[in-house]
Structure 1
Amino acid sequence: MDWAHDTVDVLGVEVSRLDAERFSELMAKAIATRRRLTVTFANPNYVMAARKDARLRQMINSFDLVLADGWGVVMATRIFGRPVPCRMANDDLTDEFFGLAARHNWRTYLLGSAPGVAETAAANLRQWYPGLPIVGVQHGHWADESGRIPPADADRLVKEINAARPDILHVGLGTPLQQIFVTENRDRLDVPVIVTCGAYLEHLSERRDWYPAWVLRLRLGWLYRLSRDPKRLWYRYTIELGSYVLRVFAHRIRHGKQY
């Protein structure tokens, strides 16, 4: 099926220009027709990584939808003259993913994060969305010393997922491993909707609205995350984010607006 839609080029990453309502329609259509829809996200960190790694950039752009994860990407689309309607990070789409799944009886599978995280997230989701059919959970610690999932383990995961017959698969293995897993196995996965989700399962294992309302209102998600995990995230949200902003403005000066 053709999932054609409008996109905007953000430093080489083709970001989808659609809103949550249209996204929900595409999910429903994919599940109703059993045709695959792959979804990933673009934030400044992913965009900067994709600039340095052509293979990662190609993988991200091979997904059917690349949603704007973070105000840094939303800002860039506005500066480039082709704004996306809104930010659409995983945390923004919790009702779309799980509220709709509970309402329509869409079977959900959670793969990712440390052992025990997916189970806790599943327990919370069942409480928040009564009737939600979660048909499988699995941790995401499968990579070996090379940073890849060994073929035998990948085969096992694919078989376990297919046996559970989910309609939606959330894959939280971190970038680039989650994109690698999806692109290498999407033709073997009998799942209509496959979504990469990074640390989303960790957020769901804590609380439904992971970002406090005031953080969202002031668009300070990056600062909130930095305050929670400064040792791991200081470089991403200082030096790398600054470099990203400079590159966005430099690109706008050199190339003008997109039309």
Structure 2
Amino acid sequence: MGTQWQHDTVDVLGLRVSRMDVPTLRGLLGTAMAERRRLTVTFANPDYALRAAKDPALRDLINRFDLVLADGWGVVAATRIFGRPVPTRMANDDLTNEFFGTPHRVFLFGNAPGVAEEAAANLRRWFPEVTVAGVRHGHWADASGTIPPGTARRIVNEINEAKPDVLHVGLGTPLQQWFVAEYGDRLDVPVIVTCGAYFEHLAERRQYYPPWVLRLRIGFLYRLAREPRRLWRRYTVELGEYVLRVLAQRLRRKARNP
């Protein structure tokens, strides 16, 4: 992964974030599907970037992907602070039309039992030109935090038998990146995209940001208000640490290149 789609990137706490706009991404997706060339896509938000800064193994996993898109305005802001801005935020929810707006075959792998099926039902209604070739839930990890080899091989075989053009893997980080890195060579799928809890949004089980939240770019405050017990540390202590690390990286760069 990560070698055949050359493009400009910017370092955000060690992650190579792709500097591209939506039309460019749309073109790459179309080329990959038309030519059956492997294109792996994952995302970087402030939480992932902070975790990767502390965990070299996670950093290396993410950087093995062909594209690492800016998921979150905190990452977009960091690229601007570094003087090498990305054009816009590109989270899974921002790219629904790009991922499902053209005729092709998709496979949804991940999230809790039943979620992918509900997401698939909505996709068939919203995007009738797309064929949902298969679905499989993502609750397979054992006590080690990985999917047992025998189970993973069965899932890989099921995906290959469905012959999708795009595979969406929603297992959470770092399991989804590990699965793609470990089994990507065995998957006969040109485009593989990690997507976290995206199927829950497609299934309309979890409300996504209202338009006014997106306009004001305060998605983190909206999520914190909705789930304070689960997210308070991520959007206070950890977000503060992320900002300090970004500023420290900016100062180091300025010292090296006055």
TM-score, reference length from structure 2: 0.95
Alignment match, 1:69: 71
From 195, 198, 209, the equivalent of 1:197 is 195
Q: Is the 8 A contact 1:204 1:210 kept in 2?
A: no
Q: Deviations over 1:118-162 (max 9, x none)?
A: 011111111111232001011110101111100011001100000
Alignment match, 1:213: 211
Q: Is the 8 A contact 2:104 2:129 kept in 1?
A: no
Alignment match, 2:57: 55
**2: distance between equivalents of 1:185 and 1:56?**
16
From 30, 44, 52, the equivalent of 2:46 is 44
- In structure 1, the residue corresponding to 2:229 is in which secondary structure? helix
**2: distance between equivalents of 1:208 and 1:143?**
23
**1: distance between equivalents of 2:25 and 2:206?**
20
From 126, 133, 136, the equivalent of 2:134 is 136
Alignment match, 2:179: 181
Alignment match, 1:230: 228
Alignment match, 1:118: 116
Alignment match, 1:13: 15
**2: distance between equivalents of 1:170 and 1:223?**
27
What amino acid is aligned across from residue 24 of structure 2 in structure 1? R
What amino acid is aligned across from residue 214 of structure 1 in structure 2? W
**2: distance between equivalents of 1:133 and 1:12?**
37
TM superposition shift of 1:223 = 1.6
Note if 1:158 corresponds to 2:160. Answer: no
Question: Which runs of no fewer than 5 residues in structure 1 stay unpaired?
Answer: none
Q: Is the 8 A contact 1:81 1:257 kept in 2?
A: no
Q: Deviations over 1:186-222 (max 9, x none)?
A: 1000000000001111111117982210010000111
**2: distance between equivalents of 1:122 and 1:207?**
13
**1: distance between equivalents of 2:153 and 2:205?**
32
**1: distance between equivalents of 2:22 and 2:206?**
18
More moved, 203-212 vs 218-227? 203-212
TM superposition shift of 1:49 = 0.8
TM superposition shift of 1:50 = 0.6
**2: distance between equivalents of 1:84 and 1:114?**
33
Q: Is the 8 A contact 1:42 1:69 kept in 2?
A: yes
What amino acid is aligned across from residue 153 of structure 2 in structure 1? D
Question: Which runs of no fewer than 5 residues in structure 2 stay unpaired?
Answer: none
Alignment match, 1:22: 24
- In structure 1, the residue corresponding to 2:17 is in which secondary structure? strand
**1: distance between equivalents of 2:62 and 2:255?**
23
- In structure 2, the residue corresponding to 1:130 is in which secondary structure? coil
Alignment match, 2:85: 83
TM superposition shift of 1:251 = 1.3
**2: distance between equivalents of 1:140 and 1:167?**
19
Q: Is the 8 A contact 1:109 1:136 kept in 2?
A: yes
> Among the aligned pairs, what percent are the same residue?
68
- In structure 2, the residue corresponding to 1:149 is in which secondary structure? coil
What is the total number of aligned residue pairs between the two structures?
255
TM superposition shift of 1:231 = 2.2
